[in-house]
Amino acid sequence: MDRETNPQTGGLRRTETFVDVADGYRLWVETAGDPGRPPLLLVMGANTSGLGWPEELVELLSRDHFVVRYDHRDTGRSTHAFHERPYPVRALADDAVAVLDALRVARAHVVGMSLGGTLVQLLLLDHADRLMSATIFGSALLGGAAPDPGICDEDLPGPDPRLLALWAELGQERDPETELRWRVEHWRVLNGGVLPFDDEEFADLERRIAAHSGTWHSPAAHALADQSGMERGAELANTSVPTLVIDAPEDPVTPPPHATRLARAIPSATLVTVPGLGHALPLAIVPPLAATITAHTGRRP
């Protein structure tokens, strides 16, 4: 495992490394903060680099934790090889464990957003011994869950139609300027309708991700990956890991009451609402989100 130490940013110690996982894939991994603090693994959503976790959020979380974020397969600086070596979505959960193994982290707090929250549910089922706690937001309950007498399937709305239209264009070839406009518009819809949206804030994020990735190509591998083997929602009834489900009231991907349904399926779960939160992480939401996460990870069992 080759390690490169980065210059300190704002006094925050950071390191980068590459971790080899299954099927010949190599993942970019960054750690931030004091390795002596409790580890916290950030698991990002589909087709999104680990840089999707805002720098400001990493910095706030690192005051109490040794923070780890990484690029999924086929994102960022990790290996891009889906068309030659396809994999199921559930393999991405195994990658998260491989990152912990490579860093010699026996147990960690794990935070998952969107698809990352789906992967955290799989970790709760298959690797509970590796989790100190779990935090999930922007995610739906795994399929196959036991019926909920209070929330029927028809009570669970699907994604905003504007997102479905944008997702139909995933993976299309666009010149950098057009791709940047597409990504900013995508974030605008994901942000929801309450918090102000700053075009330049998200344009700057996407420029940094493109520089980090070395390409403006729009990743779409996770949308093509096999989704079988994840109809396991009923098994979450046996979960005892302290779990926080964050309700994002403005989420256009998994709108309410998705978070409530998920929390009710996990006996050890607590449901907390972060007002204004959608399916994006603008700077305005970072302080309350960080405070909500650290309030959970700081609890004693």
Active-site annotation, residues: 114, 251, 279
Distance between first and last Cα of the chain: 34
Helices (H), 41-198: 55-61, 91-102, 115-126, 161-167, 176-191
91: three-class secondary structure by DSSP? helix
Single-letter residue type at 218:
S
CA distance 247 to 263: 9
Burial (CB < 10 A; 0-12, 13-18, 19+), residue 175, is exposed
**C-alpha pair distances (Å), 190 with each of 133, 167, 168:** 27, 12, 15
CA-CA distance, 187 to 162, in Å (whole number)?
Answer: 11
* CA-based radius of gyration for the chain: 18
Question: Beta strand 131-137 with 14-20: parallel, antiparallel or unpaired?
Answer: unpaired
DSSP 78: S
Task: Give the residue carrying structure tokens 């925050």.
Answer: 12
